[in-house]
Amino acid sequence: MSADALKTTPLQDLHRELGARMVPFAGYEMPVHYPGGILAEHRWCRESAALFDVSHMGQVRLAGADAAAALESLVPCDIVDLAPGRQRYALFTNAAGGILDDLMVTRAPHDGVDALLLVVNAARRDADLAHLTTHLGGRCLVQPLPDRALLALQGPKAVQALARLNPAPAALTFMSGGRFTLAVGGGVESFVTRSGYTGEDGFEISVPAEAAVAVARALLAQPEVRPAGLGARDTLRLEAGLCLYGHDIDERTTPVEAGLAWAIQKVRRPGGARAGHYPGAEVIALQLERGATFRRVGLTGLERIPVREGAVLQDRRGHRLGRVTSGTTSPTLGVPIAMGYVSVEHAQPNAEIWADVRGKPQPLRVTPLPFVPHRYHRG
């Protein structure tokens, strides 16, 4: 897309003021990094608190007494039993059991009306909204929220920084959320969840678009906080073993193949009280019972050469086993790390396989995920 055709977030001018290098991403012009660079931003997030603009993500509200049951008809996850204020990772699936998108769902009733707040991936936002409207429009209100911005404050000192704007979110635990007024200007209403995409403790903060710059400036004024871009967000999520839609998961991969069966609660599995009745349920149920042919695995390089997305994975005789879906050199560990899909017989921890990097085989070891332990605040 030409620069003129790209969308922008409410923080566009602030990014440029801060010296961001801007790149096209999912139809938006987004900051990939600031003057300090990706490595510095990555390390600051691990040590202190980094602020990411994730306003390109889609925010959608489903409202009505049937909203939870309606959403369950599109995902293999337990939404009906999700308690108010709690959040859950979910997956839209297709008739073949493939993943149309992954999303975050928070139960957030308001003014006596049951409601769910969804955050979907930027590249899938329009498709997801059409999917929801087509299948659920007759059962509940499907309301896109284009007038909301989304900020991610991530890192071990995120809670200290946010507490200066409102101390109440510090009481949240991982995968919970609520409405809070932030002490910015005359007060900014926000919906805050204790979640994120870095493996660190932190928050995702939804605010009115017109207040986004003021909130971002107030957070960046805290001594713990520095801005970070898409580059650090990607290296952080890969160290955390988290999937990127369109790379590690897509319409051709099922939750079982992707190692995401944990997101399918017992009540939605075969024999559960609300088993099935979502797209691809038969395919996924069979894989839950018998296993999948391919599995997503973590891979650690045994040499210094990084292995990138698309590299073919092979056994020692050169027979193809699968492919790499994400790869980088880990800033935290100082070694190449990657995720990819291999046949299940080669997916055992410590198995050695090889990646074809420009015609030369590079040795890798299958490694349990995450590469860097999660540090979520579970209470």
- Residue-by-residue pLDDT tens, the chain, 379 positions: 555 689 999 999 999 999 999 999 999 999 999 999 999 999 999 999 999 999 999 999 999 999 999 999 999 999 999 999 999 999 999 999 999 999 999 999 999 999 999 999 999 999 999 999 999 999 999 999 999 999 999 999 999 999 999 999 999 999 999 999 999 999 999 999 999 999 999 999 999 999 999 999 999 999 999 999 999 999 999 999 999 999 999 999 999 999 999 999 999 999 999 999 999 999 999 999 999 999 999 999 999 999 999 999 999 999 999 999 999 999 999 999 999 999 999 999 999 999 999 999 999 999 999 999 999 999 8
Residue 49 lies in a domain: yes
Q: In this structure, are residues 252 and 330 in contact, taking their beta carbons and an 8 Å threshold?
A: no
Q: Are residues 34 and 182 in the same domain?
A: yes
Q: Which of 177, 208, 239 is the last residue of a domain?
A: 239
Q: Same structural domain for residues 192 and 334?
A: no
170 and 45 co-located in one domain? yes
Q: Classify residue 108: in a domain, yes or no.
A: no
- Do 212 and 312 lie in one domain? The reply is no
On whether residue 345 sits in a domain, the answer given is yes
**Residue 80 falls within a domain, yes or no?**
no
Q: How far apart are CA 149 and CA 57, in angstroms?
A: 9
- Same domain (yes/no): 230, 300: no
Tell whether 87 is covered by a domain.
Answer: no
Same domain, 235 and 299: no
- pLDDT on residue 4: 66
Asked if residues 169 and 123 have their Cβ atoms less than 8 Å apart, the reply is no
On whether both 169 and 35 belong to a single domain, the answer is yes
Q: What is the dihedral of CA 185, 159, 151, 149, to 10 degrees?
A: -50
Single residue among 204, 239, 274 that ends a domain in this structure = 239
Q: Enter the DSSP assignment of 172.
A: -
- Which CATH number characterizes residue 167's domain? 3.30.1360.120
Give per-residue burial for 298-324: e unless 16+ CB within 10 Å, then b: bbbbeeeebbebebbbbbeeeeebbbb
* pLDDT value, residue 8: 98
Q: Residue 362 maps to which CATH number?
A: 2.40.30.110
| pLDDT computed for residue 379 by the predictor | 87
User: How many domains, the chain?
Assistant: 2
DSSP string, 86-133: BEEEEEEE-TTS-EEEEEEEEE--BTTB-EEEEEE-GGGHHHHHHHHH
User: Do 216 and 299 belong together in one domain?
Assistant: no
Alpha carbon distance 62, 65 (integer Å): 10
pTM of the model: 0.97
Same domain membership, residue 49 and residue 151: yes
Whether residue 324 contacts residue 286, with contact meaning beta carbons closer than 8 Å, is answered with no
Give the residues across from 294 on adjacent strands. 343
**Is residue 27 a part of any domain in this protein?**
yes
Q: Is residue 250 part of a domain?
A: no
Full residue range of the structural domain in which residue 325 is found: 293-379
Give dist(CA 250, CA 100) in Å, integer.
Answer: 6
304 plus 378 within the same structural domain: yes
Closest CA to 235 of 370, 49, 72, 68: 370
Domain boundary among 239, 260, 278: 239
Give me the residue label for tokens 């074809």: 356
Same domain, 152 and 51: yes
On whether residue 126 sits in a domain, the answer given is no
The verdict on 171 and 29 lying in the same domain is yes
